[in-house]
A = this chain, B = another copy of it.
Amino acid sequence: MTAPLSPGLPTKQRILDAAERLFAERGFDGVSLRDITAAAGVELALANYHFGPKKELYVAVIRRRASEINDARRQRFSELPVMPSVENLIDAFARPYLEKSVHGGPGWKDYARLIAQTANSARWTQVVMSALFDPVAELFIVGMRKALPGLTSRDLYWGFHFLLGGMTMTFAETGRIDLLSEGVCRASELEVIYARLIPFMAAGYRALAGKVDQNT
């Protein structure tokens, strides 16, 4: 056993911290409430007392940081120029994630891993992903519609989906690219990634305006 997480902090927070780390490592069903409460250094029964069923603990873990990310993104969107560039919009959406991951402490890395698994499972689509993230995603779409008036709605949403997939897998830091590139790329070099993510996704978005088959 490792030492309990966050000693001295309130019980609710210690449970959330431990659950975040373990859910990120092993997924919802790969972790028991016993694992979580043991890692938090509290009694088993306290998980149920504070959060109800296990599923609600999972949602509570994600909701805690999702609120913070959403607030940061709303702030960025509100500070954009009247006619934002494609790069401006992608940056406003992506930078809060990068900032937290680099400077927010270890919990944010666990959170990013957790989001990657949650976003790629149909099981949590409605109750977690759409419920927590669609309102701010819609701000992104609205902005992009102004920045690239030639795009159809389909272009706008699919472009966002491609952006989301790339971001999600990247911030998950699974180690895949480290192995594939034999050390040339490291998932932890988030600034190096960011210098590529923005131009890559911006160019991709712009290309949708000129794609050959316009009527699909």
- Chain A residues with a Cβ under 8 A of chain B: 25-30, 113, 116-117, 119-123, 125-126, 129-130, 134, 137-138, 153-155, 157-170, 172-177, 179-181, 184-185, 191-193, 195-197, 199-208, 210-213, 216
Contact = CB atoms under 8 A, between A and B. Distances in A.
B211 A174 contact: no
10 contacts: A25-B123, A28-B30, A117-B120, A120-B174, A121-B172, A130-B179, A154-B184, A160-B180, A161-B185, A168-B169
B185 A157 contact: yes
Contacts of A184: 153-154, 157
B28 A174 contact: no
B181 A157 contact: yes
Given A153-B185, A161-B176, A195-B213, 14 more contacts: A28-B30, A120-B120, A122-B172, A126-B175, A130-B180, A134-B179, A154-B181, A154-B185, A157-B180, A157-B181, A157-B185, A162-B196, A191-B216, A199-B207
